[in-house]
Amino acid sequence: MESLQIPPVDLRLLTPLLIVVGWASALLLIDVFFVPDGRKKITGYLAVAGLAVAGLAGIPLWSVSGSTFSGMLVLDRYSLALTWIFLIAGALSIAVALDYLPRHAIEQGEYYPLIMFAVGGMILMAQSADLITLFLGIELLSITLYILTGFAYPRVASEEAGIKYLVLGAFAAGFFVYGIALIFGATGTTSLAGIADYLGRQPFRPQDETLFLVGASLVLIGFGFKIALAPFHMWTPDVYEGSPTPVAAFMSVGTKGAALAALLRVTLAMDAAREFWLPLLAALATATMIIGNLGALGQSNLKRMLAYSSIGHAGYILLAIMVTAERGAEAFLFYMLAYTLTNLGAFGVLIALEQRGEAAWSIDDFAGLYQRRPLLAVAMALFMFSLAGVPPTAGFMGKFFVFTAAYAGGLGWLVLIGVITSAIAAYYYLRVVVKMFMQEPVRDVRPELTRGLNAEILIAGVATLLLGLLPTPIVLLAERSLAALGG
């Protein structure tokens, strides 16, 4: 009998992932045995340190590329760049939670390792070159998020959000797995390279084609749930509203970003089936941009508004994914970074305003913020203008890159929808600015700014401005990181 062949494994390629997951596992124990109650911030600091170490460990890998585990996981500059974005998102999400959790009496040390596990899942998704590992990453991310959304469990809204997310997430996973199975049935492989190979050998048998197309559609629906593309977005506002705000902040950039990153790899692999998925994605992008931005118009709850806004932004990012050949992938990376920083900054301000036991989510609570905390108001205005895409902010540059790529890729009409919805979006972002600067306070909201939060808002603000004024270094980095992708 032939012995089972163990494929060669090069763990070096997975260094950041292993550090994140390994340190998160260790931290769970350290937290229980060594960190006293009431001082759980220490766990948070340790978690940030772990993420920083993982980021630093990635630097020497910049010149390395390769695959391991029989080609199921790859390391290239694209995945490395995404890894860094995810690590930043994780670290900032922990920074805003340091004081949020005790203030809301939901401080538990597990929060920080859980965020790390989620980041691990995201990195796994970015490094996946196989539908199975991709699924693994999605599940690792999702399961931690089910817990995190329900983290404020004495609060019914939080529990409801957790359940809602769990049920819909399970649905999405079902679609995804079934899609993988059908694709496997058609192509005989789950590896992205294998699928690309298979699609290159057209024409194939009609029953295989049907099987493949149905499978690909189901996978796309799975992605749709995770990214919150319209019409699969319904859960988003409720879940964001119910979850602890740092978790909502993390989800708005993290889950979305990782799923979009994976979607980009999948579309690249299925490039030969372009005329099949392009109209589908175009329709999804159109619906997402319109529904997300129109939905945000009517919201007076700022958390819900940001939820809808995040849906709209996913639509813009989707444009970039459709045109990878025309610098779309670069635009995608830039937009992801810009959006991550801006949105986490905006959520940071939201957290500063959130009082214990109740949530300062109403837009009225922002009224007159400028008179009480001018710097906080200026920062929030910066984030709002960036989300709206007004220069000179990161958000404008991101939109500019995405629209240019889409236009060059022949999607001019989608760009038109993009700018029109941006104009609509300006209305609700401006409303926040108007409240803060031009109206009198409605009730007494005392913003609590602590060190972690201050640092987070400062980093996000400075980065938002810098990326808008001098985007060149980041674009160059993105450009280089894509050489390996063949996009």
What is the binding site for other proteins (CB under 8 A)?
Answer: 327, 385, 390-392, 396, 400, 403-404, 407-408, 412, 415-416, 419-420, 422-423, 426-427, 430-431, 433-434, 437-439, 471-472, 475-476, 479
Query: Minimal distance in Å, beta carbon 477 to other proteins?
Result: 12
Query: Minimal distance in Å, beta carbon 461 to other proteins?
Result: 15
Q: What are the CA-CA distances from residue 485 to residues 122, 173, 201, 219, 383 (Å)?
A: 18, 27, 21, 21, 31
Query: Minimal distance in Å, beta carbon 314 to other proteins?
Result: 19
Query: Minimal distance in Å, beta carbon 424 to other proteins?
Result: 9
- The per-type count for the chain, helices as H runs and strands as E runs, is 19, 2
Which of residues 352 and 390 has its CB atom nearest to other proteins in the complex? Answer: 390
Closest listed residue to residue 249, CA positions, set 394, 181, 351: 351
List, as one string, the DSSP characters of 316-332: HHHHHHHTGGGTHHHHH
Which of residues 168 and 436 has its CB atom nearest to other proteins in the complex? Answer: 436
Which of residues 146 and 400 has its CB atom nearest to other proteins in the complex? Answer: 400
CB neighbour class for 90 (10 Å; exposed up to 12, middle 13-18, buried from 19)? buried
Which of residues 389 and 452 has its CB atom nearest to other proteins in the complex? Answer: 389
Query: Minimal distance in Å, beta carbon 370 to other proteins?
Result: 8
Which of residues 70 and 439 has its CB atom nearest to other proteins in the complex? Answer: 439
Query: Minimal distance in Å, beta carbon 453 to other proteins?
Result: 22
Within 78-187, strands assigned E span none
Which of residues 94 and 417 has its CB atom nearest to other proteins in the complex? Answer: 417
User: Residue 43, CB half-sphere, CA atoms under 13 Å: how many?
Assistant: 30
Q: Are 361 and 354 contacting, i.e. CB atoms less than 8 angstroms apart?
A: yes
Phi/psi at 7 (nearest 5 deg)? Answer: -70, 150
Which of residues 156 and 420 has its CB atom nearest to other proteins in the complex? Answer: 420
Within 59-126, strands assigned E span 66-68, 73-75
**What are residue 128's DSSP bridge partners?**
73
User: Residue 10, CB half-sphere, CA atoms under 13 Å: how many?
Assistant: 14
Which of residues 273 and 432 has its CB atom nearest to other proteins in the complex? Answer: 432
* H or E element that contains 88: helix 77-103
**What is the SS3 assignment for 74?**
strand
| C-alpha dihedral (267, 270, 276, 280), degrees to nearest 10 | -20
Which of residues 69 and 403 has its CB atom nearest to other proteins in the complex? Answer: 403
- The DSSP letter of residue 205 is -
Phi/psi at 204 (nearest 5 deg)? Answer: -110, 175
Closest listed residue to residue 322, CA positions, set 352, 370, 368, 285: 285
Q: How far apart are CA 457 and CA 347, in angstroms?
A: 9
Query: Minimal distance in Å, beta carbon 390 to other proteins?
Result: 6
Query: Minimal distance in Å, beta carbon 232 to other proteins?
Result: 27
Q: How far apart are CA 225 and CA 145, in angstroms?
A: 14
Which of residues 60 and 473 has its CB atom nearest to other proteins in the complex? Answer: 473
Which of residues 191 and 393 has its CB atom nearest to other proteins in the complex? Answer: 393
**What are residue 66's DSSP bridge partners?**
75
- The DSSP letter of residue 7 is P
Q: Are 96 and 348 contacting, i.e. CB atoms less than 8 angstroms apart?
A: yes
Q: How far apart are CA 250 and CA 20, in angstroms?
A: 16
Torsion sign (Cα): 27, 29, 33, 37: positive
Q: How far apart are CA 358 and CA 141, in angstroms?
A: 28
Query: Minimal distance in Å, beta carbon 345 to other proteins?
Result: 17
Query: Minimal distance in Å, beta carbon 164 to other proteins?
Result: 34
Which of residues 222 and 471 has its CB atom nearest to other proteins in the complex? Answer: 471
Query: Minimal distance in Å, beta carbon 326 to other proteins?
Result: 9
Query: Minimal distance in Å, beta carbon 352 to other proteins?
Result: 21
